[in-house]
Amino acid sequence: MKIEVIHNFYDKENNLKLRKVGDKYSVSKERGKYLIALKVAKEIPEQKGGDPESPAEA
């Protein structure tokens, strides 16, 4: 699961590293749900398929 930080917090599971607003990183599903419940992060939806924002080059 990928998450984006919406409120600064010190990550207990990573040597109290300061996670700042806007940081994006991968966590386990359980950890992600925990951080979302604490309202310090939001889930980033997984993209299916290729990169829809860049044009296909032929």
pLDDT at residue 51, as a whole number: 60
pLDDT tens digits, residue range 3-22? 999 999 999 999 999 999 99
Tell me the three-class secondary structure of the chain, residue by residue. Answer: CEEEECCCEEEHHHCCEEECCCCEEECCHHHHHHHHHCCCEEEECCCCCCCCCCCCCC
Looking at residue 23, what DSSP letter applies?
Answer: -
pLDDT at residue 49, as a whole number: 66
pLDDT tens digits, residue range 23-53? 999 999 999 999 999 999 999 998 776 666 6
pLDDT at residue 47, as a whole number: 74
